[in-house]
Structure 1
Amino acid sequence: MSASPTLQPSQRTVVPAREGRAVHVAAGQGIRVVDLEGGQVGDVFAFAVDDLSEHHSASHTRTQIDRLFPRVGEQFFTNRRRPILTLVEDTSVGRHDMLIAACDPERYATLGVTGWHASCADNLRTALAPFAGAPTFVPQPINVFMRVPVDEHDDLSWLPAASRAGDSITFRAELDCLVVVSSCPQDVSVVNGGVPTSLAIEVLDPQETAVLVPSSGKQAHS
Structure 2
Amino acid sequence: MGQAVRGADRVMQELHREMIPARAPWSRVINKGETLRIIDTHGQQAVDFLCYNAHDFDERYHEPNTIKKAGHILLSVGDVLYSDRANPLFTITADTFGGHDTIGGCCSEPSNRMLYGVPNTGCRENFLAALKPHGLGWRDIVPNVNWFMTVPVGAAGDAAIALGSSKPGDHVDIRAEMDVLAVISNCPQVLNPCNNFDPTAIEVVVFG
| 2:18 corresponds to | 13
Q: Does 1:106 align with 2:91?
A: no
Distance in 2, matches of 1:184 and 1:99, equals 15
Within the candidate set 30, 36, 47, 1:42 is matched to: 47
Q: CA deviation at 1:126?
A: 0.6
Q: SS at the partner of 1:180?
A: strand
Distance in 2, matches of 1:69 and 1:48, equals 23
* 1:58 partner letter: E
**TM-score using structure 1 length:** 0.83
- 8 Å contact from structure 2 (residues 75, 101) kept in 1: no
* 1:195 partner letter: D
Q: CA deviation at 1:139?
A: 1.0
Distance in 2, matches of 1:10 and 1:187, equals 33
- 8 Å contact from structure 1 (residues 41, 183) kept in 2: yes
Distance in 2, matches of 1:58 and 1:10, equals 29
* 1:176 partner letter: D
Deviating beyond 4 angstroms after TM superposition, the runs of 4 or more aligned structure 1 residues are none
| 1:68 corresponds to | 73
Q: CA deviation at 1:70?
A: 3.4
| 2:10 corresponds to | none
Distance in 2, matches of 1:39 and 1:190, equals 9
* 1:98 partner letter: T
Q: How does 1:45-56 map to 2 (within 5 A)?
A: 45-56=50-61
| 1:185 corresponds to | 188
Q: Does 1:124 align with 2:123?
A: no
Q: CA deviation at 1:157?
A: 2.8
| 2:3 corresponds to | none
Q: How does 1:82-161 map to 2 (within 5 A)?
A: 82-92=87-97, 94-110=98-114, 111-114=116-119, 117-132=120-135, 134-137=136-139, 138-161=141-164
Distance in 2, matches of 1:28 and 1:149, equals 32
Task: Say what the alpha-carbon RMSD is for the aligned residues.
Answer: 1.5
- 8 Å contact from structure 2 (residues 42, 200) kept in 1: yes
Q: CA deviation at 1:10?
A: 5.3
Q: CA deviation at 1:154?
A: 1.5
- 8 Å contact from structure 1 (residues 40, 161) kept in 2: yes
- 8 Å contact from structure 2 (residues 108, 124) kept in 1: yes
| 1:209 corresponds to | none
Q: CA deviation at 1:99?
A: 0.3
Distance in 1, matches of 2:170 and 2:152, equals 20
User: Any unmatched runs of 5+ in structure 2?
Assistant: 1-13
Distance in 1, matches of 2:132 and 2:197, equals 29
* 2:124 partner letter: A
| 2:35 corresponds to | 30
Distance in 2, matches of 1:173 and 1:61, equals 15
* 1:162 partner letter: S
Distance in 1, matches of 2:137 and 2:181, equals 12
> What is the percent sequence identity of the aligned residues?
28
* 1:63 partner letter: K
Distance in 2, matches of 1:75 and 1:183, equals 22
Within the candidate set 85, 92, 106, 1:80 is matched to: 85
* 1:106 partner letter: P
- 8 Å contact from structure 2 (residues 48, 106) kept in 1: yes
